Amino acid sequence: MITITDKEISEAIEKIPPLEPVVAKTLALIKDPTSSPQKLAQEIAKDVMLTFEIMKIVNSPIYGFSRRVQSLEHAITLLGFKSVESIVLSAYAKRVYDTDLKFFNLKRGELSIQAFIGAFAAKLVAQENWPELEDLAFSAATLRSVGKIIMNFFFSKHYDKLSQELKKDFDSFDKLEKKIFGFTSNEFSIIILERWKIPNEIKEIVQFHNKLSLIKEKGSRLYKAAVSVHIGDRIAMMTGLGASIDSMKYPIDQEVFQYTKIKPQDIERYLEKTINIYPEIVREIIEVIPP
């Protein structure tokens, strides 16, 4: 195992920008029961690029409005504060993901593709099985991959060791990361989400979506949302879209079929729907500003 020092972790974390003031203030306003759609729209509008990204997501196939939503205030009124929280977090995540991860074999924009394809699929799963959790699942799914940016930093520093291990047979990529570095990309995601002061419920879903067996209450909100993100993540990998070196090294946990009503044929259906909608998601969300 390669020993990663606290100094190295701090250095890697600095590569992820802190939550920007407008985003932090917007999330605080969403939690304020006295806030109005107008007040929320005014705060978001202070960041032109964030506003642009949010409107792209609102008008994407993810929400499927029959008519184009023209203003922030209209979007907030239509969707409600909880959905807006999900979209704000997703829009900010897209900004952070706008980088290439050479050692994951991801070009600029492909991390966003993975994140949003997985988020669409997670929302689809939740919408069909636990509709009250669809915004929560979407938020967690878009944020699930932020730790890859930190792990890419360590891959670049220790690529010789990594390349040797990649030649060997291994069960799952998170086990390989843990074996080499003592950390996983998912654990780094949690560190970043804590730094951003993301709500605990979202952090827990990200934390456990690869460790469903550790959730004792199989009927809980946490379990249902984590299952949604788990399936969404795997479907994103199955599509091969924005594929990275860890694709297909995260199998679907078979306990999903034991503790929920979801069947293997449902996974095939979710995959088909996701592949069909992929071009629209890329056009509406990913291809916003040319590199």
Boundaries of every domain in the chain: 6-286
Q: Check pLDDT > 90 for residue 241.
A: no
- Cα torsion for 46, 52, 57, 60, to the nearest 10°? 150
Of the listed ranges 45-59, 201-215, 271-285, the one predicted with least confidence: 271-285
Q: Specify the pLDDT at position 265.
A: 96
Q: Specify the pLDDT at position 280.
A: 85
SS3 of 106, please?
A: strand
Q: How wide is the angle at C-alpha 24 spanned by C-alphas 19 and 27, nearest 5°? A: 130
Q: Check pLDDT > 80 for residue 222.
A: yes
In a 10 Å sphere around its CB, with 0-12 CB exposed, 13-18 middle and 19+ buried, how is residue 105 labelled? middle
Long-range pairs for 45-48: beta carbons < 8 A, 24 or more residues apart:
45/72, 46/22, 47/20, 47/22, 47/23
Asked whether the beta carbons of 37 and 179 are under 8 A apart, the reply is no
pLDDT tens digits along 148-205: 999 999 888 887 777 777 777 667 788 888 888 889 999 999 999 999 999 999 999 9
Percent of the chain exceeding pLDDT 90 equals 59
* Distant-in-sequence, close-in-space partners of 164: CB < 8 Å, separation ≥ 6: none
Rounded average pLDDT over 45-49: 93
Q: Specify the pLDDT at position 243.
A: 54
Asked whether the beta carbons of 156 and 102 are under 8 A apart, the reply is yes
Rounded average pLDDT over 220-243: 90
Can you name the residues that pair with 101 across neighbouring β-strands? 106
Within 10 angstroms of residue 287's Cβ, the number of other Cβ atoms is: 12
CA 29/CA 33 separation, integer angstroms: 8
Q: How confident is the model at residue 286 (pLDDT cuts 50, 70, 90)?
A: low
Q: Check pLDDT > 50 for residue 25.
A: yes
Asked whether the beta carbons of 189 and 181 are under 8 A apart, the reply is no
Structure token digits, residue 42: 């005014």
Q: Check pLDDT > 90 for residue 267.
A: yes
Q: Pick the residue with more confidence: 282 or 135?
A: 135
Can you name the residues that pair with 106 across neighbouring β-strands? 101
Q: Specify the pLDDT at position 289.
A: 37
Q: Specify the pLDDT at position 290.
A: 37
């920007």: which residue's tokens?
Answer: 20
Asked whether the beta carbons of 253 and 33 are under 8 A apart, the reply is no
CA 119/CA 141 separation, integer angstroms: 5
Q: Check pLDDT > 60 for residue 245.
A: no
Structure token digits, residue 252: 């679907």
Q: Specify the pLDDT at position 242.
A: 54
* Distant-in-sequence, close-in-space partners of 112: CB < 8 Å, separation ≥ 6: 94, 97, 98, 242, 285, 286
pLDDT tens digits along 86-124: 999 999 998 899 889 988 888 888 898 889 999 999 999
Q: Specify the pLDDT at position 288.
A: 47
Rounded average pLDDT over 3-14: 86
What is the assigned CATH class of domain 6-286? mainly alpha
CA 245/CA 104 separation, integer angstroms: 5
Mean per-residue pLDDT over the chain, rounded: 89
